[in-house]
C-alpha cells in the first residue's frame, strides 16, 4: 500500500506531543472565572462561538485562544469584567506558553525507526513562535528534513508542500490526530493519510462522517506505524 511513499509527514500537537489538555484546563479556569455571570456550559458555548468566529482573523494557537477568551469574557459579562479579570485570562495564556513539552508515548522510538528510510517532515498549524518553541523543547528537530508551520491546513497548503518537496502526491504520507486537518485534505490531493486518534479532540477538528478510502488507515497508537510501513 505504501510502496511508493518517500516522505512521511507528522502533525505536531496531539500527534507528537500533548497539547489539547492545556486548552481544556484553561477553558475550565475560564468557566470558574465567569461563574458569577453565566453557568459553565453556557460560558463554554460562548467561548467556542467566539473562537470559531475569529479563526479567519486570528488563526490557531494559544494567542488566538486567549484573544477570543478575552472577547468572550467581555460579551458574557456585558462589559463588567474587570481589568484584574482580563489580567487573569492573560495569565492563563502565559502559563500555557510556559508549559513543558511532553512527548506522546512511543514518538521518539517511531522517529528513530523511520529515520533513514524516509524523509521525515513535520507539518503543523498555529502560531509560528509557539510552534518553534515547542519543537525546540521537544528535542525532535534533528529528525526532520523539513518543518512546515502554516496558518491552516488546507488542500492548497498540502499541494504547495508536496511541490516544494519535489515528490508526487502518492509519495506523501501524513500522520495526524485530526481527520479534518491532517487526513481529508491530504486524501483529496492524492496522498496517504494515517489517523492516530488522541483521547480528546477540539470540537472544530471533528467530522460527522466515517472515512472509507483506499489510501486511509487508522491506528490505535503511533507505535503501530513502523510495522504498518514495513
Q: Helices (H) and strands (E) in the chain — how many of each?
A: 9, 6
Domain residues for 111? 7-17+101-229
CB 58 within 8 A of CB 125: no
Helices (H), 14-164: 20-34, 40-58, 62-76, 83-97, 107-114, 128-138, 155-164
pLDDT higher than threshold 90 for residue 47: yes
Q: Domain end: 97, 131, 156, which one?
A: 97
What tens digit of pLDDT does each residue of 50-107 get? 999 999 899 899 999 999 999 999 999 999 999 999 999 999 999 999 999 999 999 9
CA angle 72, 78, 81 (to 5 degrees): 70
In a domain, 2, yes or no: no
Same domain for 173 and 162: yes
Phi and psi at residue 32, in whole multiples of 5°? -65, -40
183/125 Cα distance (integer angstroms): 14
Rounded to whole angstroms, how far apart are CA atoms 204 and 45? 12
Beta strands 172-176 and 7-10: pairing type? parallel
At 33, list the grid cell: 472565572
Q: How many domains, in total, are found in the chain?
A: 2
* Per-residue model confidence as pLDDT tens digits over 169-210: 999 999 999 999 999 999 999 999 999 999 877 666 776 677
User: Tens digits of per-residue pLDDT, 116-134?
Assistant: 999 999 999 988 999 999 9
CATH number, domain containing residue 82:
1.10.150.240
Task: Provide the β-strand partners of residue 205.
Answer: none
Q: 92 with 123, same domain? A: no
Question: Reduced to 3 states, what is the DSSP secondary structure of residue 1?
Answer: coil
120 with 80, same domain: the answer is no
Q: How far is Cα 29 from Cα 40, in angstroms, rounded to an integer?
A: 10
Q: What is the DSSP letter of 96?
A: H
Distance CA 67, CA 65 (A): 6
Asked which of 70, 97, 124 is the last residue of a domain, the reply is 97
How far apart CA 177 and CA 14 sit, in angstroms, is 7
Amino acid at each position: 500500500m505504501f510502496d511508493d511513499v518517500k516522505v512521511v509527514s507528522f502533525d505536531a500537537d496531539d500527534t507528537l506531543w500533548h497539547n489539547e489538555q492545556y486548552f481544556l484546563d484553561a477553558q475550565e479556569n475560564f468557566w470558574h472565572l465567569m461563574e458569577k455571570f453565566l453557568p459553565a456550559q453556557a460560558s463554554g458555548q460562548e467561548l467556542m462561538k467566539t473562537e470559531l468566529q475569529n479563526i479567519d482573523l486570528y488563526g490557531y494557537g494559544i494567542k488566538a485562544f486567549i484573544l477570543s477568551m478575552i472577547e468572550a469574557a467581555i460579551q458574557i459579562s456585558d462589559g463588567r469584567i474587570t481589568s484584574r479579570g482580563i489580567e487573569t485570562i492573560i495569565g492563563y495564556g502565559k502559563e500555557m506558553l510556559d508549559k513543558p513539552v511532553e512527548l506522546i508515548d512511543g514518538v521518539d522510538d517511531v522517529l528513530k525507526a523511520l529515520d533513514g528510510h524516509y524523509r521525515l517532515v513535520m507539518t503543523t498549524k498555529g502560531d509560528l513562535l509557539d510552534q518553534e518553541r515547542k519543537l525546540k523543547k521537544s528535542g525532535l528537530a534533528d529528525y526532520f528534513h523539513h518543518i512546515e508551520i502554516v496558518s491552516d491546513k488546507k488542500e492548497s497548503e498540502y499541494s504547495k508542500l508536496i511541490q516544494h518537496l519535489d515528490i508526487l502526491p502518492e509519495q506523501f504520507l501524513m500522520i495526524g490526530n485530526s481527520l479534518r486537518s491532517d487526513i481529508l485534505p491530504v486524501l483529496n490531493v492524492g496522498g496517504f493519510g494515517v489517523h492516530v486518534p488522541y483521547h480528546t479532540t477540539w470540537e472544530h477538528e471533528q467530522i460527522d462522517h466515517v472515512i472509507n478510502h483506499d489510501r486511509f488507515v487508522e491506528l490505535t497508537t503511533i507505535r503501530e506505524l513502523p510495522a504498518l510501513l514495513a
